[in-house]
Chains A and B, each alone.
Chain A
């Protein structure tokens, strides 16, 4: 694996070109460029806010901020996986004709989406500032310093998953359909629309603590939790007349999550490397 990484570094300019190309092609011929990619999450967030806050009556002050802070990482997760499922087939010509480290393709899908994510976070912070200044909203907290670490962990997790997904789709073209279904389910299982404290209160009391730890063992659940609790202050909510109190971040589980993300990256890379030279014969 060390040799493979060395070879990868030799081709770092190709990675840069792949990412630039991805971004250019995506926004070619559209004047609003980046803002189109932002419009979709913003409309989604507005819709979910109306449904959850006014129809389902989960009453959390400044709910859309808590939603957005979970939704932006979700979009990163979803888009990187969907893009990577197609990335090998999209570069069929290149793979069949030229040598280069194949892993650059899924990596470029992750990095292009990471750049979107970071730009979206910038917009998110502008929103927080505006809210803070004009509407006395939540202050920006010192724990924002965690953000680079959380982004790194999510990127590692995604790198591993995209290696597996991009590779599987070469051998089983149903992978992309299966992935769409799984992502749809996962969106509701991840505490994006709701807060994990709500899950906690619904767990059977006998093993509440243990079951909740199991719930946080899902790396995306833990990461969503961590984004929410480091970027925004503790919330006070009410649902159906019952108060919901914010629980502090479980650093122990965050460490476990970090380990899972690292294992994901290494394991995914090993899986991909074992199969990457067969792509040229299969596609």
Chain B
């Protein structure tokens, strides 16, 4: 199948900004410029995701997983390399990102869907589905600042999936929902897969990766350490994680 997401030789270098330097005074007065420290977050990455794949990205904190997801989601521009994305993308990189606390759930749906590139008319067609999926019917006209983390996640996920994207990017947010809603999310993700849509998600929940992913990559220090069959990749990843730690998490 043809790739819907393709990264060729992607490198991302961050300038570590020292906060003292960001004032105008400092910029004018510092005659000898301290060269900014560089952080190499992603090194020469090549990755191609075919249509219909559910790709999980696992790895330790600080390995560059989220940076990779943000590059795919076009939040960060890569320092070098090319990214091609074919199709409309829904992103869910954080709980309640882009919700305005003073506006109601309904008003925020219109806003958030517009951020994902939908027209107001398209949102109007889908708003009932979104509200139904989120199970927030009785709260939808109250300001979002009164919502709990679980409610924010439900609304965010409902918008992300019910707006019918071709590609879905998720960064470790499903853990907040209760068991029943998580179940519903995974069902929806399964439907997504059968409909031939593409999912890329970052997770620390290895059971979720096993349940959903058709392919997994293990990301370590800005590079792909292993790529392929989910079970095999997770097994080799687990050899680097202290065993007692994982057992504790599993209990």
B-binding residues in A (CB < 8 A)? 10-11, 13-14, 16-18, 21, 24-25, 28, 91, 93-100, 171-175, 178, 277-278, 280-282
- The residue on B at minimum CB distance from A90 is B100
B117: chain A residues within 8 A (beta carbon) = 10-11, 14, 100
Q: Is B97 in contact with A17, judged by CB distance below 8 angstroms? A: no
**Given known contacts A11-B117, A280-B76, A281-B15, A97 and B111 CB-to-CB distance under 8 angstroms:** no
Query: Complex formed: what's the CA distance from A278 to B74 in Å?
Result: 12
Tell yes or no: B230 within 8 A of A by CB.
Answer: no
Tell yes or no: B75 within 8 A of A by CB.
Answer: yes
B73: chain A residues within 8 A (beta carbon) = 98-99
Q: Is B22 in contact with A25, judged by CB distance below 8 angstroms? A: no
Q: Is A97 in contact with B98, judged by CB distance below 8 angstroms? A: yes
Q: Is A17 in contact with B102, judged by CB distance below 8 angstroms? A: no
Tell yes or no: B70 within 8 A of A by CB.
Answer: yes
- B window 121-171: CB within 8 A of A: none
**Given known contacts A13-B120, A99-B75, A173-B23, A21 and B103 CB-to-CB distance under 8 angstroms:** yes
A18: chain B residues within 8 A (beta carbon) = 111
Query: What would be 23 A-B contacts, judged by CB atoms less than 8 Å apart?
Result: A11-B117, A13-B114, A16-B114, A17-B110, A17-B114, A21-B103, A21-B111, A25-B103, A91-B98, A93-B96, A97-B94, A98-B73, A98-B75, A98-B91, A98-B93, A99-B73, A99-B74, A171-B22, A172-B22, A172-B27, A174-B24, A277-B76, A280-B75
CB distance from A168 to the nearest CB of B (A): 9
Category for how many chain B residues contact A: 20 to 34
A-binding residues in B (CB < 8 A)? 14-15, 17, 22-25, 27, 70, 73-77, 89, 91, 93-94, 96-98, 100, 102-103, 107, 110-111, 114-120
Q: Is B97 in contact with A16, judged by CB distance below 8 angstroms? A: no
Q: Is B23 in contact with A174, judged by CB distance below 8 angstroms? A: yes
**Given known contacts A14-B114, A24-B103, A280-B70, A96 and B75 CB-to-CB distance under 8 angstroms:** yes
Q: Is A94 in contact with B115, judged by CB distance below 8 angstroms? A: yes
Q: Is A21 in contact with B107, judged by CB distance below 8 angstroms? A: yes
Query: Complex formed: what's the CA distance from A149 to B76 in Å?
Result: 39
Q: Is B98 in contact with A277, judged by CB distance below 8 angstroms? A: no
- The residue on B at minimum CB distance from A92 is B97
Q: Is B98 in contact with A98, judged by CB distance below 8 angstroms? A: yes
Q: Is A174 in contact with B102, judged by CB distance below 8 angstroms? A: no
Query: Complex formed: what's the CA distance from A13 to B124 in Å?
Result: 13
Query: Complex formed: what's the CA distance from A280 to B69 in Å?
Result: 13
B103: chain A residues within 8 A (beta carbon) = 21, 24-25, 28
**Given known contacts A24-B103, A28-B102, A94-B98, A17 and B120 CB-to-CB distance under 8 angstroms:** yes
- The residue on B at minimum CB distance from A17 is B114
Q: Is B114 in contact with A178, judged by CB distance below 8 angstroms? A: no
Query: Complex formed: what's the CA distance from A213 to B144 in Å?
Result: 54
CB distance from A151 to the nearest CB of B (A): 25
Query: Complex formed: what's the CA distance from A189 to B116 in Å?
Result: 44
Query: Complex formed: what's the CA distance from A16 to B120 in Å?
Result: 9
CB distance from A85 to the nearest CB of B (A): 13
CB distance from B59 to the nearest CB of A (A): 20
Other-chain contact of B24, A21, A100, A172 (Cβ < 8 Å): A172
CB distance from B145 to the nearest CB of A (A): 11
CB distance from A90 to the nearest CB of B (A): 10
CB distance from A165 to the nearest CB of B (A): 13
Most buried by A among B24, B27, B107, B110: B24
A17: chain B residues within 8 A (beta carbon) = 110-111, 114, 120
CB distance from B125 to the nearest CB of A (A): 13
Query: Complex formed: what's the CA distance from A171 to B21 in Å?
Result: 9
B118: chain A residues within 8 A (beta carbon) = 13
Q: Is A93 in contact with B97, judged by CB distance below 8 angstroms? A: yes
B27: chain A residues within 8 A (beta carbon) = 172
CB distance from B22 to the nearest CB of A (A): 6
Query: Complex formed: what's the CA distance from A171 to B22 in Å?
Result: 6
Most buried by B among A17, A24, A173, A280: A17
A10: chain B residues within 8 A (beta carbon) = 117
- The residue on B at minimum CB distance from A91 is B98
Q: Is B23 in contact with A97, judged by CB distance below 8 angstroms? A: no
Given contact pairs A21-B100, A98-B97, A172-B22, enumerate 11 new A-B contacts (beta carbons under 8 Å): A96-B97, A97-B91, A99-B74, A100-B115, A100-B117, A172-B23, A173-B22, A277-B77, A280-B70, A280-B75, A280-B76
A97: chain B residues within 8 A (beta carbon) = 75, 91, 93-94, 97-98
- The residue on A at minimum CB distance from B85 is A99
A28: chain B residues within 8 A (beta carbon) = 102-103
